[in-house]
Amino acid sequence: MLRHLSCSNVPGPLSHLAVLDLSRVLAGPWCTQHLADLGATVWKIERPGSGDDTRAWGPPYLKDAHGRDTSEAAYYLACNRGKHSVAVDFTKPEGQAIVRELALQADVLVENYKVGGLARFGLDHASLAVPNPRLVYCSITGFGQDGPSAERAGYDFIIQGMTGFMSVTGERDDLPGGGPQKAGVAITDLVTGLFAATGILAALAERERTGRGRHVDACLFDSAVAMMTVMNLNYLVTGRAPGRLGNAHPNIVPYQVFACADGHLILAVGNDGQFAKFCEAAGVAAWAADPRFARNADRVRHRGTLVPMVAEVVRTKRQREWLELLEPLGVPCGPINPIDRVFDEPQLAARGLKLDLPHPLAGSVPQVGFPLLLDGQRSDAAMPPPLLGQHTAQVLKERLGYDDARIADLVSRGVVAA
């Protein structure tokens, strides 16, 4: 059985790297949390007094041992594990100097300001690449560094609508509840964070050969368009824009949610052999030989006929009966779990996905671990999401050589918070 170890026991593969994180909210912090989970030292630069916007995005907030709300919003806690919070006001010249000093020591810088927004502080790629040509500088924006929309602010909800995601998500317009629907999580932010991390790791790998960094340009718009994958090609090869099918699949049948006797069942028949097994188990073996349904292409063409027939059969049994009947046969199926049941899943416990890290305000903070294993080991950051400015003095002393008097002076003038 695999042992899932944290990076407190096993150094992560990025433990030799330092990341300067000038990002806020979700896409950037999601990216840098992955780098932290893989072992990188991440310095999260925050505004003194307020910090990352998401610190105030509650309730819910983390509760202390007495059940009282702390200052730490759940939203913030979701994507800032393993980082060092350094509270610096870089609108002030001395604050800019601090960030530039850290950039000289960093391998990676991640920012998600508007295009050109950091240039007036001397913290843009052009300004920092000269003194540190090895720096991998990643800019995350709504629409990228160029093009007619480059200056626009990017919001996940807007991007979901613009890039076609909502045109294929939601129930059909002619059915109850029909109409466009956004995802239940900020999917384009999260995907952009993953693409950004991929670009950063590619640039770091190239740097091993060239000795020079890159400017990684990641944006929500490009990432969301790329994310549409099959839907893009369904359109590009036919010239017809796909529409909403609710929980059904445009290319596979039956592959959707069906009502059973006591709830709902996801039936995800992926090939003709699985369809034949389903038909045999459901007592309708003749369907698999019917020329309208024998091949997936036929089932897609006769979707309107077959789906009501499957729905009628599925309604005859309880969800648990179907799961116990179909799973041993290798017919893909499953329940629709609310989040509380997800965390009761034995598989989640076996994989060690839920973490509890020590926290200075609450005793401990729950986390969901990094979703990859390397040689059977899970490389989760051992540090909880930091309090605002928790590591300012430590980083200024250990990395920049500032003494207590200098730090106290900077605090008194509002340049840093410690």
Alpha helices in 211-345 (DSSP H): 220-227, 229-238, 272-282, 296-301, 303-314, 319-326, 339-342
Dig out the tokens for 365 from the structure: 């903070």
Tokens of 77: 């806690």
User: What DSSP designation does 387 have?
Assistant: P
Give the length of the chain. 418
Place of tokens 């502080």: 121
DSSP string, 156-206: HHHHHHHTTGGGSSSB-TTSTTBS----SS-HHHHHHHHHHHHHHHHHHHH
Distance CA 231, CA 234 (A): 5
Rg of the chain on CA atoms, in Å: 25
Phi-psi region of 262 (alpha: psi -120 to 50; beta: other; left: phi over 0): alpha
Backbone angles phi, psi at 268, to 5 degrees: -125, 70
Catalytic residue among 189, 217, 222, 380: 189
Strand partners, 136: 108
Q: Which residues contact 98 (CB under 8 A, 6 or more apart)?
A: 88, 90, 396, 400, 415, 416
Side-chain-facing half-sphere of 83: CA atoms under 13 Å: 34
Q: Is 262 a catalytic residue?
A: no
How many angstroms separate the CA atoms of 38 and 32, rounded? Answer: 10
**Cα distances (Å, whole numbers) of residue 403 to 399, 408, 409:** 11, 9, 10
Helix ranges restricted to H, 17-58: 27-37
Q: Which residue numbers are catalytic?
A: 189
